[in-house]
Structure 1
C-alpha cells in the first residue's frame, strides 16, 4: 500500500472543502449544456485545472511515481490516441505511472490519469490496457468528481469532507479510502456507493466507444473485466481496482452487450506494449538473478508473444546484474533489426555509460534525435551521457530547449541541475533546484533556493530582477494552494 498518500489527502481535502463551502461564489461562465458534463455550478473548469495541478505537485513529492522516460513516453502516446477520440476534452491530458503491484488506475481534476504498474503488467494485450485508460478518460470528460460535489451540495460540510477525503485517498490507497467513506452515516455511505456505480456505468459506456474509435478491440473492456472477476475470486480481499471501481456481474454483462454492437476487430499485438510489460518486470519487480532465469527460460522454451521482448527483458536483467557483455550482445542484436527503437537505444546508452563507451552512445542518439528533436527518451538519454563526458554546454542547451516545451518534466530539471552543479554554475543550479522543489509543491524550499541564487547574481541586475519575480510567483502559488 502507498502510505505517504495520506498526507496528500489531508492537504487536498482542505482544498476541496473550501471549494465546496463557497459553491455559490464560483464563476458559472463555463456551464455546459451537455447532460454528461454538467457540474460547473460546483466547480469551474479553471478551478478544476488549478486543483489538478496542486494535487499533481503533491503526488510527485509523496507517491511512488516512476520518472521513467520510456514508460512515460509509451503511456502518454497510448493515452493521446484515446483522448483524440473523446468529446468534451477541455485541457491536455497527462498520464503517469506509479510503481505499485496493485491492479489500479485513477483520474482526477485537470486531466491527470495515474496508472499502477500492476495494471500494465496484468493486462494481456494493449486493448485491455487501453480499455482502462479510456474508462479513466471518460471519468474526466464527464466530470464525475465535480458532479459528485454538485450532487452533495445540500450535505453538511462534515459529510462532504468525509466523502471527498475517502474519494481522494481511494485514488492511490483504495482500502483506506473506502474505510474513510464508510465512517460517515449509513445513508451517506450508501448514496456515495450508488453514485459511484452510476459513474462507472457511464464511464464504461463512453469509454468503450472511445476504445473502438481509437482502433482498439472493444472486447478489451469485457475481457479485462473477466481478469478482474477471476482474480477477485482467488483473493480474500477485493482487488484495488474493484474497491474504487465497483464491478457487479451486471456491469460485466452490460459491457459485453455494448461491445456486441461493434464489429469484431482483429487488432495485431503491439510490440511496444510487450516491451513496456517486460521493462516493468525487469526494472521494478523481483531481483536481477531471478529475472535472468525467468527470461532465459522464456527464450529457451519460445513461450513469448515477441522474441524481441523476451530478449530485451534478458538484456535488462543482465545489465542490472552488471553482466555487461551478454547484455550488450543482446541489445546490439536487437538494434541491428530495429535501429530506432527507443527501448533498445535507452538500454544501449546505459550499457555504454557503465562500460565507458560514451561516444558510441552519443553517436547513436545524435543520429536519431535529428528526426525527433524533442523526444523525451532521446533528449534525456543524450543529455545524461553528455554530462558524463563533461560536455556541459551541449547538455544544458539540449535540456533548456526541452524544458521550454516540457517545463514540468522532473527528470529533465534534475539533470539540468546536475549539469550546472558539475560545471560549477551555482547561480543557475540553485535556480533550477528551485523549479524542482516547486514541482513537488515545496514552495518554501524553492524560495530558499532562489534567495541563495540571488546571492550569486552579484551585480547582474536583470538576473536579480528575474529571481525576485520568480520568488513572487512562488509566493503567489503557495497562497493559491492554501486558499483554493
Structure 2
C-alpha cells in the first residue's frame, strides 16, 4: 500500500481493530481503454513477479486520494487521484510493482499473523490488568491495560512496516527483471514525502506508523535503483502517449468541468486536451461542444475505437441512440471489447425499435460471456428478455445483477422467481439455484448479526 489505508483504534478495554477500506464500498471506474492500458503497462511486471497477466487485474476506483492497495485476490486497486497526480506512466508502474509485491508476498492473508501476535499481547495485559484491579490496585491495573494496548499496537505497526519494506524491495526486483526504470518509483515517493512535509509529519522516526517514512524508503530504494541496468532506460513512447490519454479522460470524467477546462484550455489542441474537454462538455450537458471535440479526435484518427466509443456515448446519452449505433458498432468490431459491446447493446435497446432487439441480445450475450462482472450488461439483457416475454430469464438476469451488487435479498427474490419458470435441470435453472442458495445464506447470516 502506497499510503495508509488501515485505521487502528482502541475499542472498549484495549481491543485492537483493523478496518480495511474495501473497493466494493467505492465506485469502480470501468473503462475499456483504461483497462486495456493498465493490462499492457503492467503485464511485464506481473510476469516478472511470477504471475500470469491474464489473472491479474489493475482497476481504477473513483477516489481523489493518492493511493493504491490490494485487498485480496489478484487485484490491484488504483485511486483516480493517483493517476491524476502522476507525471508519467513510469510513476504508476512503480506503484503497481509495489502492490504486486503485496500480492506475491501474500501480505493480505498474513495480516492475520500480525493481528494474532498483537491480540495475544492485548489479552495478556487484559488478564493481568483485571487481576491487579481485583486485588485492589485499580491504578496499577489501568496502567497495565494501557501499556498492553500500546505494546500491542506497536507490535502490529512494526509488522505492517516490515511488509511495506518487503513490498518496496519486491517491486524493485520486478521493475529490474522487466527492464523498467525505477526513476518513476523514486519520483512518486518524493511526491508522498512532499505530502508528509505539508502535513507536518515528523521525519525523524516512523514508529507509530503503518508505513516507513517516504524519506526512509527513498534512501533504501535509491541504492537499489541507481545501479540497475534499466535506470536510464526510456519509457515506451507509445505507452506514454496512451497514459496521457487515459489520464486526460479520467480528469475530464471525475473532475468538475470548470477545473478540467482550466487544466486543458481551448488553446491546447493536443489529443489529451480534446479528450478531457469532450468529457467536460458532456458532463456540462453541452453535447454539441462535446461532439466537436470528439470530431477533432476522429479527424486525427478516424478509426480509433475509443474515440468512436466516446462519440457513440455522447450521442446515446444526448438522446440520439440511432445515431450512436454506427460508431459503437465499428468500435466493437475493432476491439471485441465487452464494455463497449454493452454500450452498443444499450443503444440498440434505446431505439425502441423491435428490429434491433435480436442484435442487442446477441451483442449483450457475447459481452457477458467475456465479462460476467458487469451489472449494467445483465440489466440490459434482462430488458431484452422481458421485451420478448421471457420473464424467467429476465428474472435470472436481474438475479445476476443484484447478486453482483451485493443486494442479497433482491437477488434471492429474483432467483426464486426465475426458478418458478425455468425447466429444472437446465443450465439456467441450476444457475438460478446457485444464486438463490448463496443469497439465502448471506441473508440469513445478516439476520443473525442483527
Q: Aligned ranges for residues 381-392 of structure 1 at < 5 Å?
A: 381-390=343-352, 391-392=356-357
Distance in 1 (CA, whole Å) between partners of 2:342 and 2:180 is 30
Distance in 2 (CA, whole Å) between partners of 1:145 and 1:400 is 35
> How far apart are 1:470 and its partner, in Å?
2.8
**Runs of at least 5 residues in structure 2 that lack an aligned partner in the other structure:** 7-16, 124-145, 203-207
Distance in 1 (CA, whole Å) between partners of 2:37 and 2:314 is 22
Do structure 1's residue 118 and structure 2's residue 77 form an aligned pair? no
Structure 2 residue corresponding to 1:283, chosen from 253, 256, 262: 253
The 3 A distance-change label for structure 1 pair 69 and 477 is same
What SS is found at the alignment partner of 1:95? strand
> How far apart are 1:183 and its partner, in Å?
11
Distance in 1 (CA, whole Å) between partners of 2:163 and 2:41 is 23
Aligned twin of 2:12: none
Aligned twin of 2:131: none
Q: Is the 8 A contact 1:73 1:376 kept in 2?
A: no
The 3 A distance-change label for structure 1 pair 91 and 465 is closer
**Runs of at least 5 residues in structure 1 that lack an aligned partner in the other structure:** 7-16, 18-54, 161-181
Which shows bigger deviation, 221-230 or 68-77? 68-77
Structure 2 residue corresponding to 1:430, chosen from 392, 395, 406: 395
Do structure 1's residue 247 and structure 2's residue 213 form an aligned pair? yes
Q: Aligned ranges for residues 356-395 of structure 1 at < 5 Å?
A: 357-373=320-336, 375-390=337-352, 391-395=356-360
Aligned twin of 1:229: 193
Structure 1 runs (4+) deviating above 6 angstroms are none
Q: Is the 8 A contact 1:295 1:314 kept in 2?
A: yes
Task: Give TM-score scaled by structure 1 length.
Answer: 0.72
Distance in 1 (CA, whole Å) between partners of 2:147 and 2:279 is 46
Do structure 1's residue 216 and structure 2's residue 180 form an aligned pair? yes
Distance in 2 (CA, whole Å) between partners of 1:214 and 1:405 is 28
The 3 A distance-change label for structure 1 pair 292 and 465 is closer
What SS is found at the alignment partner of 1:185? helix
Structure 1 residue corresponding to 2:234, chosen from 259, 266, 278: 266
The 3 A distance-change label for structure 1 pair 294 and 480 is closer
Q: In terms of Rg, which structure is larger?
A: 2
Structure 2 residue corresponding to 1:144, chosen from 98, 104, 107: 107
Q: How many residues align?
A: 396
Structure 2 residue corresponding to 1:320, chosen from 269, 280, 283: 283
What SS is found at the alignment partner of 2:393? helix
Give per-residue Cα distances to partners, 1:364-406, cap 9 Å, x unaligned: 3333433432x13431232222122232221121121221232
User: RMSD of the TM alignment (CA)?
Assistant: 3.6
Task: Give TM-score scaled by structure 2 length.
Answer: 0.77
Aligned twin of 2:38: 75
Q: Which has the higher contact order (CA 8 A, sep 6+)?
A: 1
The 3 A distance-change label for structure 1 pair 354 and 370 is closer
> How far apart are 1:462 and its partner, in Å?
4.3
Aligned twin of 1:94: 57
Distance in 2 (CA, whole Å) between partners of 1:315 and 1:309 is 10
Q: Is the 8 A contact 2:71 2:108 kept in 1?
A: yes
Aligned twin of 1:475: 437
